[in-house]
């Protein structure tokens, strides 16, 4: 029988592939690490992607604890449910919180990927800091010149 | 995951399709030069982008690629006879020159000029390196001739083969930009294949089956970097360029030749997997060339008289379950090329991407698809010519190198990632 040999890769035999769903819906958490990334996250949410938690770019000054507390709780809640974490960063920031968020993800067994979205004009010096920090924590890092890449990847991963 | 309409758009390359229009914006490999070995040699039937064509080399040593079928009553000109100035259909004697122009219709009076009104579709056919290249797009948009390094080095430094792959071009090409499968599927070959073994980089590969990936834009497409741990906190990087629409170059290993591929649609359910090996600074050694001819590395052996692999779906790819059990091969299929092809063909003629479950290591594939979709739409809807046509976009190299942990591979390896004539490639 054709279906019992490698010849079963025909179009006709493809019609007999098991039609049932082969995966449950994946839950992807998005965390924006700076103001530029927060803007991107807001635009993604308008397109129907999961709402991101936006962290303050830096945790300093007198009210740093208050500034961090609420988003930190949100991140914790997200990670409790998430199958995968995407960090969003832009050339505007230095991804200072990347390590802390990734540590929390790792403790919960959530794999981490990252997007650094930077315009083509962004020079290497500007990107060096966030790139270095994201590289230390992300299993997969995309340096994108076009934020449409982020939507394309999230769509492809069924976010 | 792709939506059904996106999958259709990317995989259909016949005349009038957006992706077909995109492929027709480039010079693409059509035949090996060895297929038309001398002036007046037998013509060759060629199907490309779902068009049936005939490649000819005239008695005057001109190459041509024309509609396979006589304009009279549609017989195949493959049966044609070479004569001075062109090829003659044996049925009623209609004669065509290398441009497809009919130059003689014996049954019609010469003075009525009937033959001048008959012209077959034709495309340019140009020999560069071991390859005959064609351009199937609008003549006014024809780009400069290809500048890929593998076909521009001296003949003794290069070797090219092709093999029939019985599935859509896209799933074949996606295998070429998916570096994460190498540590699994080709694990057994890294230390045994004569064209791969012995490189220090192989140990980095085998010691770390979970590379970290970075994908960055390149003028003609993407650079896909796979990072593994090396000594002293440094990283071993393997960097693969992908240039639109379907060129890849595998990161090198030691002083071995550099390998790479083109995937060219024959029709929507078959493609040519073109495989090249070259060395930028030295001749390919006789034993290396022999190994390539014997199907090692990324090449295959054939069903005699064809470019169909000897291991194919009709013989279950000569699967060897004992070798699989012993761990010599992961899939039981021998040879790097057929390990890839067998699995990619098993996906079906056009894989249903609505059902796939990609993971983050597939980001190179995702971004390549995104660029192809974007370029195909821009060309179809706005006439924007796509990246990868500029010879500068083609003058790229793969690289394997060890870099400090905080270095951006694209910047730190900038010199290594472009062609420098007479300079060896960056390799570990």
Q: Which of A124, A156, A158 to mutate to test the interface with B (most CBs of B within 10 A)?
A: A156
Kindly determine whether residue B370 and residue A144, on different chains, have CB atoms separated by under 8 Å: no
A31 pLDDT above the threshold of 70: yes
Mean per-residue pLDDT over chain A, rounded:
89
How large is the greatest C-alpha to C-alpha distance in chain A, in angstroms? 75
Q: Is the dihedral of CA B351, B353, B356, B357 positive or negative?
A: positive
> How far lies B84's CA from each of A89, B56, B103, in Å?
67, 13, 11
Measured between alpha carbons, how far is B4 from A147 in angstroms, rounded to an integer?
A: 23
**Following DSSP, what letter does each residue of B372-411 receive, concatenated?**
HHHHHHHHHHH-PPPTT-SHHHH-B--EEEEE-TT--HHH
Round to whole Å and give the CA distance between A1 and A56: 63
A150 exposure class (CB count in 10 Å sphere: 0-12, 13-18, 19+): buried
Interface residues on A facing B, Cβ-Cβ cutoff 8 A: 5-7, 9-11, 13-14, 17, 22-23, 26, 84, 111, 113, 120, 124, 127-128, 131-132, 135, 138-145, 148-149, 152-153, 155-158
**Positive or negative: CA dihedral B116, B117, B118, B124:** positive
Name every chain A residue with its beta carbon within 8 A of the beta carbon of B345.
6, 9
Binary contact (B361, A139; C-beta < 8 A): yes
Q: How many CB atoms lie within 10 A of CB B36?
A: 21
Distances (CA, A) of A20 to A16, B175, B353: 11, 26, 14
| Closest C-alpha among A48, A58, A50, A47 to residue A30 | A50
Cα distances (angstroms) measured from residue B230 to each of A14, B29, B53, B187, B226:
44, 38, 51, 19, 12
Q: Is the pLDDT of residue B281 over 70?
A: yes
Q: What is the pLDDT of residue A1?
A: 64
Q: Which chain A positions have a beta carbon within 8 Å of B346's beta carbon?
A: 6, 9
Compute the average pLDDT of residues B218-240: 93
Whether residues A9 and B213 touch (CB distance < 8 A) is answered with: no
Q: Cα–Cα distance between B196 and B400 in angstroms, integer?
A: 13
Residue the block writes with tokens 């961090």: A68
What is the rounded end-to-end Cα distance, in angstroms, of chain A?
A: 40
* A135/B314 CB distance under 8 A: no
pLDDT reported for residue A125: 74
Of the candidates B349, B278, B290, B326, the one whose C-alpha atom is nearest the C-alpha of residue B12 is: B349
Cite the beta strand spans of B34-182 per DSSP E: 44-48, 51-57, 63-67, 81-83, 86-88, 95-96, 102-104, 122-123, 125-128, 131-135, 158-165
Taking the CA atoms of A121, A127, A128 and A131 in sequence, report the sign of the dihedral they define. negative
Residue B307 contacts residue B162 (beta carbons within 8 Å): yes
Give B53 to chain A, closest Cα distance, Å: 25
Please, what is the Cα angle at B274 between B269 and B278, to 5 degrees?
165
Q: What is the mean pLDDT of chain B?
A: 95
Distance of residue B345 Cα from the nearest chain A Cα, in angstroms? 6
Q: What percent of chain B has pLDDT over 70?
A: 100
pLDDT band per the 50, 70, 90 thresholds, residue B29: very high
Show me where the domains of chain A are located. Answer: 25-156
**ipTM surpasses cut 0.95:** no
Instruction: Quick: pLDDT tens for A46-96.
Output: 999 989 999 886 666 667 778 888 899 999 999 999 999 999 999 989 999
Token pair 């090829």 is found at: B87
What confidence tens digit (pLDDT) does each residue in B107-151 have? 999 889 999 999 999 999 999 999 999 999 999 999 999 999 999
Answer whether B366 sits within 8 Å of A6, measured CB to CB: no
Q: Which of A22, A132, A155 sits opposite B357 (nearest CB)?
A: A22
B214 and A153 within 8 Å at the Cβ level: the answer is no
Give how far Cα A66 sits from Cα of A60, A70, A105, B208, Å. Answer: 11, 7, 22, 42
Q: How many CB pairs under 8 A join A and B?
A: 107
Among B155, B147, B144, smallest CA distance to B419 is for B147
Cα B400 to Cα B239: distance, rounded to the nearest angstrom: 6
Across the interface, whether the CB atoms of B352 and A155 are under 8 A apart is answered no
Q: DSSP label at B69?
A: B
CATH of A25-156, one of 3.50.50.60, 3.40.50.1440, 1.10.1370.30, 2.60.40.10: 3.40.50.1440
Tens digits of residue pLDDT in B303-358: 999 999 999 999 999 999 999 999 999 999 999 999 999 999 999 999 999 999 99
Query: Residue A60: helix, strand or coil by DSSP?
Result: coil
pLDDT band at A24 (very low <50, low <70, confident <90, very high): confident
pLDDT, average across residues B259-270:
98
């Amino acid at each position: 029988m054709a279906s019992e040999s490698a010849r079963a890769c025909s179009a006709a035999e493809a019609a007999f592939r098991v039609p049932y769903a082969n995966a449950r819906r994946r839950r992807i958490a998005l965390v924006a690490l700076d103001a530029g990334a927060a803007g991107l996250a807001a635009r993604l949410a308008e397109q129907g992607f999961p709402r991101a938690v936006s962290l303050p770019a830096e945790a300093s000054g007198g009210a740093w604890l208050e500034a961090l507390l609420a988003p930190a709780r949100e991140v914790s809640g997200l990670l409790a449910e998430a199958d995968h974490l995407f960090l969003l960063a832009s050339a505007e920031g230095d991804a200072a919180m990347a390590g802390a968020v990734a540590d929390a993800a790792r403790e919960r067994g959530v794999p981490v990927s990252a997007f650094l979205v930077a315009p083509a004009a962004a020079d290497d010096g500007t990107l060096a800091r966030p790139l270095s920090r994201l590289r230390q924590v992300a299993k997969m890092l995309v340096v994108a010149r076009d934020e449409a890449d982020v939507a394309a990847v999230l769509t492809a991963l069924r976010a | 995951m792709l939506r059904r309409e996106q999958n259709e758009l990317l995989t259909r390359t016949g005349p009038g399709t957006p992706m077909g229009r995109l492929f027709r914006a480039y010079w693409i490999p059509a035949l090996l030069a060895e297929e038309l070995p001398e002036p007046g040699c037998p013509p060759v039937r060629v199907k490309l982008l779902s068009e049936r064509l005939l490649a000819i080399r005239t008695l005057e040593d001109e190459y041509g690629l024309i509609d396979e079928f006589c304009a009279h009553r549609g017989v195949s000109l493959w049966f044609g006879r070479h004569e001075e100035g062109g090829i003659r259909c044996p049925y009623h004697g209609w004669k065509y020159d290398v441009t497809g122009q009919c130059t003689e219709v014996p049954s019609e009076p010469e003075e009525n000029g009937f033959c001048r009104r008959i012209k077959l579709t034709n495309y340019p056919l140009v020999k560069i390196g071991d390859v005959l290249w064609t351009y199937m797009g609008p003549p006014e948009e024809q780009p400069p001739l290809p500048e890929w390094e593998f076909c521009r080095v001296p003949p003794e430094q290069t070797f090219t083969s092709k093999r029939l792959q019985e599935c859509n071009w896209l799933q074949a090409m996606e295998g070429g930009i998916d570096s994460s499968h190498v540590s699994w599927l080709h694990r057994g070959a890294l230390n045994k294949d004569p064209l791969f073994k012995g490189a220090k980089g192989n140990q980095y590969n085998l010691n770390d089956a979970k590379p970290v990936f970075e994908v960055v834009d390149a003028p003609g497409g993407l650079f896909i970097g796979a990072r593994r741990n090396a000594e002293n906190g440094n990283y071993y990087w393997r960097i693969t360029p992908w240039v639109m629409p379907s060129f890849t170059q595998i990161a090198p290993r030691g002083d071995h030749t550099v390998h790479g591929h083109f995937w060219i649609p024959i029709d929507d359910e078959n493609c040519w997997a073109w495989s090249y090996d070259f060395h930028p600074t030295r001749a390919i050694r006789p034993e290396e060339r022999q190994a390539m001819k014997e199907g090692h590395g990324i090449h295959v052996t054939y069903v005699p008289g064809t470019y169909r692999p000897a291991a194919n779906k009709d013989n279950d790819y000569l699967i060897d379950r004992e070798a699989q059990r012993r761990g010599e091969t992961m899939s039981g299929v021998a040879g790097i090329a057929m390990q890839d092809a067998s699995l990619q063909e098993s996906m079906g003629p056009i894989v249903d991407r609505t059902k796939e479950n990609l993971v983050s290591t597939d980001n190179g594939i995702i971004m390549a698809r995104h660029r192809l979709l974007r370029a195909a739409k821009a060309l179809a809807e706005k006439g924007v010519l796509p990246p990868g046509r500029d010879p500068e976009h083609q003058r790229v190299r793969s690289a394997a190198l060890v870099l400090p942990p905080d270095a951006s591979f694209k910047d730190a390896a900038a010199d290594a990632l472009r062609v420098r004539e007479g300079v060896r490639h960056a390799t570990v």
